[in-house]
Amino acid sequence: MQIHVVERGQTLWALSQLYRVNLSDLINANQMSNPNQLSVGQALIVPTPATVYVVQPGDTLYAVAARYQTSVAALAALNQIQNLNQIYVGQVLQVPAVAKPIKQVNAYLTDWGTKGAQTVTQLGPALTYMSPFSHHVGADGSLSPMNDSVLVTAAKAQTVAPLLVITNWSGNMFSSDVASTILNSATLQQTVITNVLNLMKSQGYIGLNIDFEYVYPQDKTAYNQFLQNVVTQLHAEGYLVSTALAPKESANQVGLLYEAHDYPVHGELCDFVVLMTYEWGWAGGPPWAIAPINEVQKVLNYAVTAIPRYKIMMGVPVYGRDWKLPFVQGTTAQTFSPEAALNRAATYGVNIQYNTTYQAPYYNYTDSSGTAHQVWFEDARSFQAKLDTVKAYNLRGISFWSYPSSFPQVVPMIEDNFQVRKLS
């Protein structure tokens, strides 16, 4: 795949000619419902052969060689180029095939019915794990009922391994008190573990994902002991154990979200961890990229010192947000899919910008009532930046939060970058 950023006056037909691909292949790769609707700054994926690269504006022979892990001299020789400083837009270069790293991919699912099952089927070729979100742990150690059998069935049909997710969610938020009650009682811990094992056996899960958030700092040791108990009993039964961890930049980072998440202990005990590297631009805060890559890298720089790289799944968001301007504390941004973000840009006829520090697209518009808005979302460029980060840090893989969503470029881009490891 190549990524093309639409310029003023360009059409899909012209791009198909530039890249020497069929128009229908270009439309299908991006799943475009309206091929005539393009926005300046929109990122498209172009399905070019693995050993061919079409030169784009700003390219140099050095940059292309680096991308394909070869030397400038080798690339020049392969293409009989005499002047190393002279390549032109639209030039077709022969490039060496690059081996794809083997990675694992997880997706959290928040729809347990037909829509969720359809999503699993669509994503299936690109997934290792599928994690229905979530069974809530009660203060008595019970697990809330969740009719997710249709998701488990869909996952197994796609050779995707289902993970049981448990959380300390209560009402409309994570409950520090529920977590504290469970973690400080050996009896309740065992009740939770017994219920988890029974559910995993009856539903066909292959592993557990624990997402306990906003745990009191004083319960850090108790959480670690609970995790040890879980791992001991589940590993004895042949199940995987993983956890979701807040995005810490240091071991001593303060805050209710962070302090009880002990990276070294989770990294030692668990089969893998999911780093929740998203929500910088959260719905209740001011406009910002959801997962600015410079902030994600700060988390990874600490994480790889505390957790083996082969155990780290980097969190990747598959959504965007629309904030009203000026931002007013107490207001909530609208959350929607990347495809919806593109449609809104087209509706208001605005250009899509790209922040190179955050590696994230955004735009501003004014609605029919005269209210100003700012939108941050994910696109092919920001997703590629995240895939490149996983490769650069040599991590286990990625974990999406959350599906269903409409981000049609995800599957072909994963398949272009990774060889996705299946468990069976």
pLDDT at 307: 98
> Domain range holding 215?
102-315+380-420
- Asked whether residue 134 falls in the same domain as residue 216, the answer is yes
Tell me which of 43, 75, 94 is where a domain ends.
Answer: 94
Residue 343 · residue 379 · CB < 8 Å: no
Domain boundary among 57, 73, 94: 94
Q: What's the domain count of the chain?
A: 2
Q: How far apart are CA 265 and CA 221, in angstroms?
A: 10
One domain, residues 207 and 107: yes
Q: Residues 369-385: what's their mean pLDDT?
A: 98
**1: pLDDT confidence band, cut at 50, 70 and 90?**
confident
Q: Which of 68, 142, 134 is nearest to 100 (CA)?
A: 68
Residue 155 lies in a domain: yes
Residue whose pair of structure tokens reads 């065992």 in the numeric block: 190
* CATH code, 76: 3.10.350.10
What residues contact 316, with CB distance under 8 A and at least 6 apart?
277, 278, 291, 383, 386, 398, 399, 400, 401
Q: Above pLDDT 70, what percent of the chain?
A: 100
Whether the pLDDT of residue 424 is over 90: the answer is no
Judged against a pLDDT cut of 90, whether residue 111 lies above it is answered with yes
pLDDT (tens digit per residue) in 9-47: 999 999 999 898 999 999 999 999 899 899 999 999 999
pLDDT for the residue 170:
97
More confident residue, 68 or 245: 245
The string of pLDDT tens digits covering residues 234-290 is 999 999 999 999 999 999 999 999 999 999 999 999 999 999 999 999 999 999 999
pLDDT tier at 370, thresholds 50, 70, 90 = very high
Taking the C-alpha atoms of residue 130 and residue 164, their distance in angstroms, rounded to an integer, is 9
182-223 residue pLDDT tens: 999 999 999 999 999 999 999 999 999 999 999 999 999 999
Q: Is residue 351 part of a domain?
A: no
d(C-alpha 318, C-alpha 406), whole Å: 8
Statement to judge: residues 200 and 136 lie in one domain: yes
pLDDT for position 57: 86
Query: Which residues belong to the active site?
Result: 213
- Quick: pLDDT tens for 155-179: 999 999 999 999 999 999 999 999 9
Interval 62-86 mean pLDDT: 90
> What is the mean predicted confidence (pLDDT) over 391-411?
97
- 170 and 147, same structural domain? yes
Q: Is the same domain home to 74 and 220?
A: no
Residue 98, pLDDT above cutoff 90: no
Q: How far apart are CA 316 and CA 43, in angstroms?
A: 18
Last residue of a domain, one of 38, 66, 94: 94
One domain for residues 148 and 195: yes
The proportion of the chain whose per-residue pLDDT surpasses 90, expressed as a percent, equals 90
How would residue 85 be classed by pLDDT, with cut points 50, 70 and 90? confident
Give yes or no for residue 107 having a pLDDT over 90: yes
Residue 389 has pLDDT above 90, yes or no: yes
Is 352 among the domain residues? no
Residues 126 and 185 in one domain: yes
Q: At what angle do helices 293-306 and 380-393 cross, to 10 degrees?
A: 20
Residue 147 sits in the same domain as residue 79:
no
- Domain with 273 in it: what CATH number? 3.20.20.80
23: exposed, middle or buried (C-beta count within 10 Å: 0-12, 13-18, 19+)? middle
Q: Residue 24: its pLDDT value, please?
A: 96
- Amino acid identity of 312? I
pLDDT given for residue 97 in this prediction: 85
Predicted pLDDT of residue 360 = 98
